[in-house]
Amino acid sequence: MRITCPYCGARSSHEFAYLGDAAPTRPDPSAPDAAEAFHAYVYERDNPAGPMDELWYHSAGCRRWLKVTRDTRTHAITAVAFAGTGEAAR
Amino acid sequence: MTRLAHGGLIDRGRTLSFAFDGKTFKGHPGDTLASALLANGVRLVGRSFKYHRPRGVVTAGSEEPNALVELRTGARREPNTRATTVELYDGLEAASQNRWPSLEFDALSVNRLVSPFLGAGFYYKTFMWPAAFWEKVYEPVIRRAAGLGRAADTPDPDHYEKATAFCDVLVIGSGAAGLAAALAAARSGARVILADEDFRLGGRLLSERTVINGGSALDFVASAQAELSSLPNVRLMPRTTVFGAYDGSEYGAVERVSDHLPAPLPFQVRQRLWRIVAKRCVLAAGAFDRPIVFPGNDRPGVMSALALATYATRYGAGAGANAAVFSTNDHAVAAALDAAEAGLKLDAVIDVRPALPDALAARAKALGVRLITEGEVVATSGKCLTSITVRTPRGSETLAVEALGVSGGATPNLNLTCHLGGKPVWREDIAAFVPGAVPPGMAVAGAVAGTFGLADILAEGTRLGAAAASDTGFAAAPAPAPQAESTPTGFKAFFHVKGQGTKGGPAFVDQQNDVTAKDVALAHREGFRAVELLKRYTTLGMATDQGKTSNMAGLAVMAELTGKGIPAIGTTVFRPPYTPVALGVLAGHHRGVDFKPARPTPTHAWAQAQGAVFVETGLWMRAAYFPKADEKDWLDSVNREVKATRESVGVIDVSTFGKIDLQGPDVGVLLDRVYINMFSTLAVGKARYGVMLREDGLVMDDGTTARLADDHYVMTTTTANAAKVYQHLEFCLQVLWPELDVCLASVSEQWAQIAVSGPRSREVLAKIVDGIDVSNAGLPFMGVAQGSVMGGVQARIFRLSFSGELGYEIAVPARHGAALMQALMAAGAPFGITPYGVEALGVLRIEKGHVSGNELTGQTCARDLGLGKMASTKKDYIGRVMAGRPAFTDPDRPSFVGFKPVDRSARLRAGAHFLKVGAAATTQNDEGYMTSTAFSPTLGHYIGLGLLKRGPERMGEKVRAYDPVRGGDIEVEVCSPAFIDPQGEKQRV
B845, amino acid identity: R
Q: Do A65 and B734 touch (CB under 8 A)?
A: yes
Domains of chain B by range and CATH? 1-157 (3.10.20.440), 160-287+412-471 (3.50.50.60), 292-407 (3.50.50.60), 506-569 (1.10.10.1100), 616-656+750-844 (3.30.1360.120), 658-746 (3.30.70.1400), 891-988 (2.40.30.110)
Q: Do A65 and B277 touch (CB under 8 A)?
A: no
Q: What is the pLDDT of residues B349-358, one digit of tens each?
A: 999 999 999 9
Q: Do B738 and A59 touch (CB under 8 A)?
A: no
Instruction: Tell me the C-alpha to C-alpha distance, in Å, between residue B763 and each of B671, B736, B755, B774.
Output: 34, 47, 14, 9
Q: Do B735 and A84 touch (CB under 8 A)?
A: yes
| Average pLDDT rounded to a whole number, residues B561-565 | 89
Is pLDDT at B48 greater than 90 in this prediction? no
Instruction: Tell me the C-alpha to C-alpha distance, in Å, between residue B563 and each of B35, B535, B555, B558.
Output: 40, 19, 12, 8
Q: Do B880 and A1 touch (CB under 8 A)?
A: no
A35–chain B Cβ distance below 8 A for any pair: yes
Residue B127: pLDDT band by 50, 70, 90 thresholds?
low
Q: What is the pLDDT of residues B378-418, one digit of tens each?
A: 999 999 999 999 999 999 999 999 999 999 999 999 999 99
Q: Do B730 and A75 touch (CB under 8 A)?
A: no
Q: Which of A38, A41, A64 sits opposite B734 (nearest CB)?
A: A64
B499–chain A Cβ distance below 8 A for any pair: no
| Average pLDDT rounded to a whole number, residues B214-224 | 96
Q: What are the backbone angles phi and psi of residue B274, rounded to the nearest 5°? A: -105, 135
Query: CA B21 to CA B876: how far, in whole Å?
Result: 77
Is pLDDT at A89 greater than 70 in this prediction? no
| Average pLDDT rounded to a whole number, residues B976-981 | 95
Query: CA B402 to CA B388: how far, in whole Å?
Result: 9
Average pLDDT, chain B: 93
Is pLDDT at B101 greater than 70 in this prediction? no
Best of A57, A64, A68, A85 to substitute, by most chain B Cβ atoms within 10 angstroms, is A57
Residue B668: pLDDT band by 50, 70, 90 thresholds?
very high
Query: Which of B182, B165, B167, B179 lies closest to B253 in space, CA to CA?
Result: B165
Query: CA B826 to CA B353: how far, in whole Å?
Result: 97
| Average pLDDT rounded to a whole number, residues B426-430 | 95
Residues of chain B positioned with their CB less than 8 A from the CB of A12 = 164, 250, 275
Q: Which of A38, A43, A77 sits opposite B881 (nearest CB)?
A: A38
Q: Do A1 and B249 touch (CB under 8 A)?
A: no
Calculate the CA B104 to chain-centre distance: 38
Please report the pLDDT score of residue B569 as a whole number: 85
- The residues, any chain, with a CB within 8 Å of residue B973's CB and separated by 6 or more, are B899, B900, B901, B902, B956, B957, B958
B850 vs chain A: nearest CA distance in angstroms?
29
Q: What are the backbone angles phi and psi of residue B45, rounded to the nearest 5°? A: -120, -10
Q: Which of A30, A39, A65 sits opposite B731 (nearest CB)?
A: A65
The β-bridge partners of B663 are B712, B743
A56 vs chain B: nearest CA distance in angstroms?
10
The β-bridge partners of A69 are A53, A79
Q: Which residue would you say has higher pLDDT here, B57 or B500?
A: B57
Please report the pLDDT score of residue A90 as a whole number: 44
Q: Which of A26, A75, A85 sits opposite B738 (nearest CB)?
A: A85
CB B765 within 8 A of CB B810: yes
Q: What is the pLDDT of residues A54-65, one digit of tens each?
A: 999 999 999 999
| Average pLDDT rounded to a whole number, residues B5-23 | 96
Q: Which of B164, B730, B882 sits opposite A65 (nearest CB)?
A: B730
Please report the pLDDT score of residue B532 as a whole number: 86
Q: Do A42 and B696 touch (CB under 8 A)?
A: yes
Q: How many alpha carbons lie under 13 Å from residue B886 in its C-beta half-sphere?
A: 1
Burial of B448 (0-12, 13-18, 19+ CB in 10 A): buried
Residues of chain B positioned with their CB less than 8 A from the CB of A59 = 723, 727
Give the 3-state secondary structure of residue A45: coil
- In eight-state DSSP terms, residue B420 is T
Residues of chain B positioned with their CB less than 8 A from the CB of A30 = 876
Query: CA B273 to CA B163: how far, in whole Å?
Result: 6
Query: CA B18 to CA B92: how far, in whole Å?
Result: 5
Q: What is the pLDDT of residues B244-294, one digit of tens each?
A: 999 999 999 999 999 999 999 999 999 999 999 999 999 999 999 999 999
The number of beta carbons lying within 10 Å of the beta carbon of residue B923 is: 6
Q: Do B277 and A82 touch (CB under 8 A)?
A: no
Pairing of strands B410-412, B432-434: unpaired
The number of beta carbons lying within 10 Å of the beta carbon of residue B395 is: 7
Q: Which of A2, A43, A64 sits opposite B277 (nearest CB)?
A: A2
The number of beta carbons lying within 10 Å of the beta carbon of residue B20 is: 21
Please report the pLDDT score of residue B117 as a whole number: 59
Q: What are the backbone angles phi and psi of residue B444, rounded to the nearest 5°? A: -115, 135
Q: What is the pLDDT of residues B501-530, one digit of tens each?
A: 556 678 999 998 889 999 999 999 999 988
Please report the pLDDT score of residue B485 as a whole number: 85
Please report the pLDDT score of residue B963 as a whole number: 95
Please report the pLDDT score of residue B934 as a whole number: 97
Please report the pLDDT score of residue B542 as a whole number: 85
Q: What angle do CA B265, B270, B272 make, to 5 degrees?
A: 125
Q: What is the pLDDT of residues B439-466, one digit of tens each?
A: 999 999 999 999 999 999 999 999 999 9
| Average pLDDT rounded to a whole number, residues B48-75 | 92
Is pLDDT at B146 greater than 60 in this prediction? no
Q: Do B727 and A57 touch (CB under 8 A)?
A: yes
CB B273 within 8 A of CB B162: yes
Instruction: Tell me the C-alpha to C-alpha distance, in Å, between residue B139 and each of B107, B131, B544, B836.
Output: 19, 11, 20, 53
B277–chain A Cβ distance below 8 A for any pair: yes
Please report the pLDDT score of residue B184 as a whole number: 96
Residues of chain A positioned with their CB less than 8 A from the CB of B723 = 59
Portion of chain A with pLDDT greater than 90, in percent = 92
B620 vs chain A: nearest CA distance in angstroms?
18
Torsion angle of C-alpha atoms B778, B784, B785, B790, degrees rounded to 10: 110
Residue of B nearest to A71 (CA): B247
Residue of B nearest to A87 (CA): B734
Please report the pLDDT score of residue B484 as a whole number: 92
Q: What is the pLDDT of residues B726-754, one digit of tens each?
A: 999 999 999 999 999 999 999 999 999 99
B738–chain A Cβ distance below 8 A for any pair: yes
A56–chain B Cβ distance below 8 A for any pair: no
Residues of chain A positioned with their CB less than 8 A from the CB of B880 = 29
Is pLDDT at B132 greater than 80 in this prediction? no
A74–chain B Cβ distance below 8 A for any pair: yes
Portion of chain B with pLDDT greater than 90, in percent = 86
Residue of A nearest to B275 (CA): A12
B743–chain A Cβ distance below 8 A for any pair: no
Residue B102: pLDDT band by 50, 70, 90 thresholds?
confident
CB pairs under 8 A between A and B: 62
B546 vs chain A: nearest CA distance in angstroms?
25
Q: Tell me the range of B94-98, B480-484, B879-883 where mean pLDDT is highest.
A: B879-883
B533–chain A Cβ distance below 8 A for any pair: no
ipTM computed for the complex: 0.97
| Average pLDDT rounded to a whole number, residues B299-314 | 97
Please report the pLDDT score of residue B133 as a whole number: 65
Residues of chain B positioned with their CB less than 8 A from the CB of A38 = 695, 881-882
A45–chain B Cβ distance below 8 A for any pair: no
Q: What is the pLDDT of residues B617-655, one digit of tens each?
A: 989 999 999 999 999 999 999 999 999 999 999 999 999
Give the 3-state secondary structure of residue B243: strand
DSSP string, B565-603: -HHHH--PPP-S-SS---HHHHHTT-SGGGSS--EE-TT
Domains of chain A by range and CATH? 2-82 (3.30.2270.10)
